């Protein structure tokens, strides 16, 4: 089965779409889809079963890629036909639109995933945590009229993690993936078209992060209430400072991490690429679908590219006017999605070493209790 997009609503399957665009991304909470049918028939058979807000699933070549809701229907009347286009998003799309109404709206001494689970529970969405999200938040408080998406984004920035939807419409907390796609994108081979951009307009030589930390019974004073940290982008040779006010309570270590995150992310996002390849799968028709949050090597001298990039977004396309079946990849260097890759790896290794030492100590204690 190749080149087929399927929309499923209430157990009913719709296929034969003339134009297809299905996107998955790690740069937003939800994926989206647009499916167009050239002619839905004079009796309106298709439109009768398509209702705004209907729960739906979208499959590409039989594999689930979107679980969400139908947001919009567009009807067009031409001389020869009257096409219909249906659009929708993952379940997580509601988090972009809707207010966070949790009461009392404040969490103390809770980890990111605990707060996130509370925020998304009313929407029937679950959280999958793939990485250590760091220490608890001393205090996290919702802002007035804040959407769920905005609250999640504030926490993600403070912990240097990504939050995005999976194919089931639930949320994943992760960092930039280290898995390498088996197929490279190579000019003159599988690269159909592409564009690269090198833009330093959002990069700054020195980034300062300022915030506030609440005092405690044992820790008070100006040093605690006012927190500052900075990080340098050594590639910027002229005076270009930026001041960032951190969201929520923050200590010096967290402010430093945020400053490093800003430098790394802006450096990474100054190099972007958009490439299109034939088909929806890599490694042939039997290979896996192109996936987000994977590394892919791009060799395209005409675009100034010869490096590993993280796949930030994948869009599966199919057109009725010679467009064929194409996958478009939005790419950026891994640091565009991480605070500092070296520091992240150090943190992981440190945590693994600590866990191994703890396990070894526990086993030794048990052996001592048992005796010879």
Cα(22)–Cα(60) distance, integer angstroms: 9
Cα(16)–Cα(320) distance, integer angstroms: 11
Give the model confidence (pLDDT) of 30-75 as tens digits: 999 999 987 655 445 555 567 888 999 999 999 999 999 999 988 8
Cα(114)–Cα(118) distance, integer angstroms: 6
Cα(164)–Cα(66) distance, integer angstroms: 12
Six-digit token string for 179:
């898995």
Six-digit token string for 132:
């250590």
Cα(155)–Cα(177) distance, integer angstroms: 20
Give residue 181's pLDDT.
86
Give residue 155's pLDDT.
92
Cα(314)–Cα(276) distance, integer angstroms: 10
Residue 304 has pLDDT above 50, yes or no: yes
Q: Of 209, 113, 210, 106, nearest to 152 (Cα)?
A: 113
The mean-pLDDT minimum among 166-170, 247-251, 254-258, 308-312 falls in 247-251
Give the model confidence (pLDDT) of 306-330 as tens digits: 999 999 999 999 985 556 899 999 9
CATH architecture of 5-90: Roll (2.30)
Q: Where are the domains of the chain?
A: 5-90, 96-174, 185-199+270-337, 206-269
Residue 108 has pLDDT above 50, yes or no: yes
Give residue 158's pLDDT.
84
Give residue 40's pLDDT.
56
Do 95 and 69 contact (CB within 8 A), yes or no?
no
The mean-pLDDT minimum among 24-33, 181-190, 272-281, 337-346 falls in 337-346
Question: Coil, strand or helix: which one is 333?
Answer: coil
Q: Can you name the CATH fold of 96-174?
A: Phage tail protein beta-alpha-beta fold (3.55.50)
Instruction: Strand 171-174: give its sheet, edge to edge.
Output: 127-129, 171-174, 162-165
Residue 243 has pLDDT above 90, yes or no: yes
Q: What is the largest CA-CA distance in the chain?
A: 92
Give residue 352's pLDDT.
44
Question: Coil, strand or helix: which one is 315?
Answer: strand
What phi and psi values does residue 112 have, to the nearest 5 degrees?
-55, -45
Residue with tokens 């400053």: 259
Give residue 90's pLDDT.
95
Residue 337 gets which letter from DSSP?
A: G
CATH architecture of 206-269: 2-Layer Sandwich (3.30)
Q: Does the predicted model carry a pTM greater than 0.85?
A: no
CB-based contacts of 52-57 (< 8 A; 24+ apart in sequence): 54/9, 54/10, 55/9, 55/10, 56/7, 56/8, 56/9, 56/88, 57/7, 57/8
Give residue 346's pLDDT.
46
Q: Of 85, 92, 91, 94, nearest to 14 (Cα)?
A: 85
Residue with tokens 């998003």: 89
Q: Can you name the CATH fold of 185-199+270-337?
A: Phage tail proteins - horseshoe like beta roll fold (2.30.300)
What phi and psi values does residue 344 have, to the nearest 5 degrees?
-60, -45
Fold agreement (96-174, 185-199+270-337) = no
206-212/227-232 β-pairing? antiparallel
């Amino acid at each position: 089965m190749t080149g087929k997009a399927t929309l499923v609503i209430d157990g009913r399957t719709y296929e034969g779409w003339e134009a297809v665009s299905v996107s998955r991304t790690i740069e937003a909470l939800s994926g989206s889809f647009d499916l167009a049918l050239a002619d839905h028939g004079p009796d309106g058979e298709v439109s009768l079963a398509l209702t705004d807000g209907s729960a739906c699933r979208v499959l590409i070549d039989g594999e689930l890629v979107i679980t969400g809701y139908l947001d919009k229907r567009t009807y067009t009347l031409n001389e020869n036909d009257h096409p219909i286009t249906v659009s929708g998003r993952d379940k997580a799309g509601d988090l972009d639109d809707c207010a966070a109404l949790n009461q009392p709206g404040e969490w103390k001494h809770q980890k990111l995933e605990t707060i996130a689970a509370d925020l998304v529970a009313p929407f029937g969405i679950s959280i999958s945590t793939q990485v250590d999200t760091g220490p608890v938040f001393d205090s996290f408080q919702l802002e007035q009229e804040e959407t769920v998406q905005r609250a999640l984004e504030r926490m993600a920035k403070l912990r240097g993690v990504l939050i995005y939807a999976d194919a089931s419409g639930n949320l994943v907390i992760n960092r930039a993936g280290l898995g390498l796609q088996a197929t490279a994108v190579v000019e003159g081979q599988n690269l159909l078209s592409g564009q690269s951009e090198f833009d330093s307009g959002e990069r700054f030589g020195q980034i300062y992060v300022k915030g506030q930390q609440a005092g405690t019974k044992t820790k008070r004073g100006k040093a605690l209430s006012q927190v500052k940290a900075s990080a340098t982008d050594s590639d910027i040779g002229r005076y270009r400072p930026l001041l960032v006010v951190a969201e929520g309570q923050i200590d010096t270590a967290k402010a430093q991490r945020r400053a490093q995150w800003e430098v790394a992310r802006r450096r990474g996002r100054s190099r972007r690429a958009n490439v299109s390849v034939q088909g929806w799968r890599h490694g042939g028709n039997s290979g896996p679908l192109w996936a987000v949050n994977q590394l892919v090597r791009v060799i395209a001298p005409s675009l100034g590219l010869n490096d590993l990039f993280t796949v930030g977004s994948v869009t599966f396309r199919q057109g009725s006017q010679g467009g064929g079946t194409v996958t478009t990849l939005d790419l950026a260097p891994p640091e565009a999605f991480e605070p500092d890759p070296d520091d992240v790896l150090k943190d992981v290794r440190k945590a693994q070493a600590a866990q191994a030492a703890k396990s070894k100590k526990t086993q030794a204690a048990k052996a001592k209790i048992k005796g010879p």
